[in-house]
Structures are given as structure tokens and as C-alpha cells.
Amino acid sequence: MNLIIDIGNTRVKTAVFQGYELLVKENDVLNNLENKIQLLMARFPEIKNCILSSVGLQTQIPAQLLPKHLHTLILNPKTPLPIINGYETPKTLGMDRLALACAAANKYPNNDCLIIDVGTCITYDFISKNNRYLGGAISPGLQLRYTALNSLTANLPLLKPETPKALIGTTTNGAIHAGVVYGILSEIDGVIARYQEKYSDLTVILTGGDTNFLSKQLKSSIFAHSNFLLEGLNHILHYNTNE
């Protein structure tokens, strides 16, 4: 049984897997991590392996919170992976992006895959049918765009994401919603189209916190997987424990 801990830009996700079956997942703030680990260990005493991943460098303190008997893998650029990493600067590559590529290779083997993670940032990651991760792109996410419009201008308000009522915003709020949401949708559809010009049988996966908000509004055919990052981390842990 595996414990998965993913420390993101704003939240911490924890999950427990039995083999490749997701039993439970939690989403909380970093300050509650110690209590969350204790509760999960009490609920699932069969847990014996753990993987810890972070988009930043904050792994030392969370690792100290883990029970000593756990076989713990801290994901880093030197961790053995079930894919070939073709990124030119692997030390600068976010561990979350690697995990997503591993999830795609496991779930869609022998496919050219584009994984789009719509979270704090929007990341585009491509893994070839030959199991080789090549890289991708990074752009501001939904909330980042709303925040930037407010913090970098004099008069624009800070709004929460909302589906635009019309293409043409007839109020300032409406114009912001139209600009942000339709801008992101056009970006994602446009990026997918560019990849499809080069990879005709492309498999597209959408994941991340804003998946539900965006998925039904996209024109492109996609597979939506809300737990894809957790599944990728679990796959990496399996690969390193040979279980």
C-alpha cells in the first residue's frame, strides 16, 4: 500500500493507493500535513511505501514528519523513472511535470500524448509513443490571470473565475471574464491544434484544479483525469519498489 504526498504551489495533496487503485485522496494546506499523515497511517496501517514530491524545495520538513518504518522516496531529478527524460535542463524541470508524463506513459502506452495541467500555471507536456519525454510549455493559469489584471493595473477589480455571459463584455467585470476565460480556452485549443499538425494520432489529457471549469468549454477532444498527477507519482513509486 502506497502513500502519495504532492506539495503544490498552494495546496498539499495526499492519497493512498492499493496497487493502482486509488482508495482515498485529500487536499489541504501544508500546515495540516502532519495531522493528515497521522490520520492516514492510523486508517491504513498497511502503508509501507511513500513518495514525496514538491514543486519547490520544501521536502526536508515534510520528510521528517513521516514514520521511520516507511520506505520513502523523495522525487528528484536523479530518481529512476519508467520513461526517458529528454529535457535539456532536467534539474530545472518541475517534478509534477515528470509525474504527469509517467502517468500518460502508463495509461496510454505507445501513444503520443500531450498532458495539459490547468492549475496555478498551465503546463503543456509531451511524451512520445517511444516513451520519451520531450518538454512542453508553461503559461499563467486561470487565477493568476485574474490576479495579474488586478495587481498590475490601477482600477481593475479582483474577480473570481466565472463563465462569461457573452463574447462581448458590456461591463468591466464581463470584459475581464471574457478576456481571461476565452483567452485561456483559445490558447489551449490553439496549442492542441499545433501539436495535432505534427502528431496526427495525438492523445490529449486535461488535468489539474481547473479541469472541471474548462473541460466542457473546450472545442478539442480530450480525456479529463482529475487524479492524473497522483497516479503518475504512484506509478513512479511502483517502478522504484518493484511492486
Q: What's the pLDDT score for residue 30? A: 75
118 is in an annotated binding site: no
pTM, rounded to two decimals: 0.91
97 is in an annotated binding site: yes
Alpha-carbon gap, residue 81 to 233, rounded angstroms? 10
Domain edges within the chain: 86-101+109-229
Q: Which of 28, 96, 189, 210 is catalytic?
A: 96
User: 3.30.420.40, 1.20.1050.10, 3.30.70.100, 3.10.20.90: which CATH number matches 86-101+109-229?
Assistant: 3.30.420.40
C-beta separation of 97 from 137 below 8 A: no
10 is in an annotated binding site: yes
Along the 243 residues of the chain, how does pLDDT read in single tens digits? 999 999 876 678 999 999 999 999 998 887 788 888 889 999 999 999 999 998 765 555 567 777 788 899 999 889 999 999 999 999 999 899 999 999 999 999 999 999 999 998 999 999 999 999 999 999 999 999 999 999 999 999 999 999 999 999 999 999 999 999 999 999 999 999 999 999 999 999 999 989 999 998 998 889 999 899 999 999 999 999 976
Q: Which uninterrupted H or E stretch holds 77?
A: none
Residue of 205, 218, 230, 194 lying closest to 127 (CA atoms): 205
Q: What's the pLDDT score for residue 236? A: 97
Which of helix, strand or coil describes residue 25?
Answer: strand
Q: What's the pLDDT score for residue 59? A: 57
Alpha-carbon gap, residue 99 to 91, rounded angstroms? 15
84 is in an annotated binding site: no
96 is in an annotated binding site: yes
Which of helix, strand or coil describes residue 72?
Answer: strand
Q: What's the pLDDT score for residue 125? A: 98
Q: Would you call 96 a catalytic residue per the annotation?
A: yes
Instruction: Read off the amino acid at residue 81.
Output: L
Alpha-carbon gap, residue 147 to 19, rounded angstroms? 40
Q: What's the pLDDT score for residue 55? A: 74
